[in-house]
Amino acid sequence: MIDLRSDTVTLPSPEMKNFMFEAPLGDDVYGEDPSINELEKKASSLFGKENALFVPSGTMANLISVLSHCERGNEFLLGNKSHIFKYEAGGSSVLGGLHSHQLINNTDGTIDIAEIVSAINSTNDSHYAMTQLLCLENTHNVCYGTAIEAQYFTEVKKSIAPYNLKLHIDGARIFNAIIALKTSAKTLTQEADSVSFCLSKGLSCPSGSLILGTNNFIYKAKRLRKMLGGGMRQAGILAAAGIYALDNMINRLKEDHDNAKELASAIAEFSNIRVDTKKVSTNLIFFHLEDNKLSDENFINELYKNNIKIDTRGDRQFRMATHFGFTNNDIEKVVKTFKLILTK
């Protein structure tokens, strides 16, 4: 089965598994797991932040970050196509008592800076929730997996600084952005007050995410992690996968990007598929099916019969994510199967 639904379907390599099995372990709630401590130290150094915290998932990482920056009744700004808004079950409102204010994401994942500034509530008027935080995303999942340049974040930070807003970057796929932009983690996130990133997507770990920020921020985050049930005791076996990934799995993301571009260019040749190959900059391919005789459901089912899984987004849009385990040799099979189905 070729599974292109998401890069979350990645499996650890044999080398990563062996590294996990040999990991020294301890009780992380007591702060005594050496593998988690090493991972957090490695991550904070890589991003140039004071401290880091290992958590079970990207959703928890974002929730903890938002709650650490805000008090109940505060407002935070985010994109209307952001993962925090669309795909995290409304946790910041339900569990944090926060008011989210959605702004329009451009097709490249950015939000117009003028729109951000005009949305900030900073008066003492009791009618309004006070704006405390801005959340941005890089790469931006729904917006074609676009990698957003560091300059944009610099301009954003300069614009919101007079209002004392904090900036959180949801960097679930930040390493894809780093590779695509040929930059460093420090450079790309230097303006952020906090950053989260996933280990379980392109880096191919079985689970886990990291939150990064100041010592004071991580102190708050750690208390919230415990409150949310994220204290995992001997979780060093998972953290070890993260250590291995940061040392061995980042540079190979270019292979995923190259495969995505090649696959996108190949399916663009079909008259009943619409895909903008110029927007394929990382490992995500979005395309539209323009065959009125073939429903979305039938298209997915026909692919499944041929041992291929992709993600449907509704309204005739589909997504494919290239990742570790999907090789250049698999592209030919996917393209041949598309041809078989679309030329019936």
Tell me whether strands 284-289 and 273-274 are parallel, antiparallel or unpaired.
antiparallel
Measure the CA–CA gap between 327 and 259, rounded to whole angstroms: 7
Per-residue confidence (pLDDT) for residue 250, from 0 to 100: 98
Q: Is the pLDDT of residue 293 over 90?
A: no
Close Cβ partners of 78 (under 8 Å, ≥ 6 residues apart): 84, 85, 100, 101, 102, 103, 134, 135, 136
Q: Is the pLDDT of residue 344 over 80?
A: no
Residue-wise pLDDT tens digits, 199-250:
999 999 999 999 999 999 999 999 999 999 999 999 999 999 999 999 999 9
Neighbouring-strand partners of residue 314: 317
**Among positive and negative, which fits the CA dihedral 307, 313, 316, 322?**
negative
Length of the chain: 344
For the domain made up of 252-342, the CATH class stated in words is: alpha beta
What topology does CATH give the domain 10-248? Aspartate Aminotransferase; domain 2 (3.40.640)
Average pLDDT over residues 1-18: 97
Domain ranges of the chain: 10-248, 252-342
Per-residue confidence (pLDDT) for residue 124, from 0 to 100: 84
Residue-wise pLDDT tens digits, 37-59:
999 999 999 999 999 999 999 99
Per-residue confidence (pLDDT) for residue 315, from 0 to 100: 86
List the end-to-end C-alpha distance of the chain, in Å, as a whole number: 22
Asked if residues 207 and 237 have their Cβ atoms less than 8 Å apart, the reply is: no
- Looking up tokens 């807003």 gives 165
Q: 3-state SS of the chain: helix, strand, coil percent to 5?
A: 45, 15, 40
Per-residue confidence (pLDDT) for residue 336, from 0 to 100: 97
Asked if residues 100 and 78 have their Cβ atoms less than 8 Å apart, the reply is: yes
Neighbouring-strand partners of residue 149: none
Sheet (strand 311-314) strand order = 273-274, 284-289, 317-321, 311-314
Average of per-residue pLDDT values in the chain: 96
CB atoms within 10 A of CB 29: 16
Per-residue confidence (pLDDT) for residue 57, from 0 to 100: 97
E strands within 117-247? 131-137, 166-170, 194-198, 209-213
Residue-wise pLDDT tens digits, 93-132:
999 999 999 999 999 999 999 999 999 998 888 899 999 9
Question: Do 10-248 and 252-342 agree at the fold level?
Answer: no
- pTM for this model (two decimals): 0.96
Per-residue confidence (pLDDT) for residue 328, from 0 to 100: 92
Question: Using 50, 70 and 90 to split pLDDT, how confident is the model at 291?
Answer: confident
Close Cβ partners of 2 (under 8 Å, ≥ 6 residues apart): 307, 308, 309, 326, 330, 333, 334
